[in-house]
Amino acid sequence: MEYTITPLTPHTGVEVRGIDLNEGVDDETRAALNRAFAEHHVLVVRGQQFTPPQFIAAAQVFGDLFQHDKREMHVPGYPQIYYVSNEQTVPGKRYISGETFHTDHSNHPTPAQGDNVVPGLAAEPWRRHPICQHARGL
């Protein structure tokens, strides 16, 4: 598998090109991606298209999944996937995720290592909503 990992800034973030996470990755590529995440804290892998099961498989490249506490915000049928939306409302007002609780589990004794985020999945009505999923430890 031929791919590149290129820094986005001198301080944090890399862009990964040449990988389709739907095709899976070999052990060497998995290790390189996890090293890049540990060193640069943000990986950008553009052009990925996922169904919920494909997103779960792609996220597992980075470790075991951590189920989010806010069960009402899970994608139906996929408790491993938590969605964030700027279109949510609770009686009469807009609800903004993260204003009243930790979205990253930093309040847990063993917090998640990070989030995998994709701007929507091919499963209505979640198409317009960013989706995030927490993974533990490298």
pLDDT tens, 44-98?
898 888 888 888 898 889 888 877 776 767 778 888 877 766 666 666 777 666 5
Burial call 58-69: b when 16+ CB within 10 Å, e when fewer:
bbbbbbebbebe
- Provide the whole-model pTM: 0.73
Please return the burial class of 55, using the count of CB atoms within 10 Å of its CB with bins 0-12, 13-18 and 19+.
buried
131 lies in the same domain as 68: yes
Same domain? 34 vs 57: no
| Total number of domains in the chain | 2
Q: Are residues 56 and 34 in the same domain?
A: no
Residue 66 near residue 135 (C-beta atoms within 8 A): yes
Last residue of a domain, one of 48, 63, 83: 48
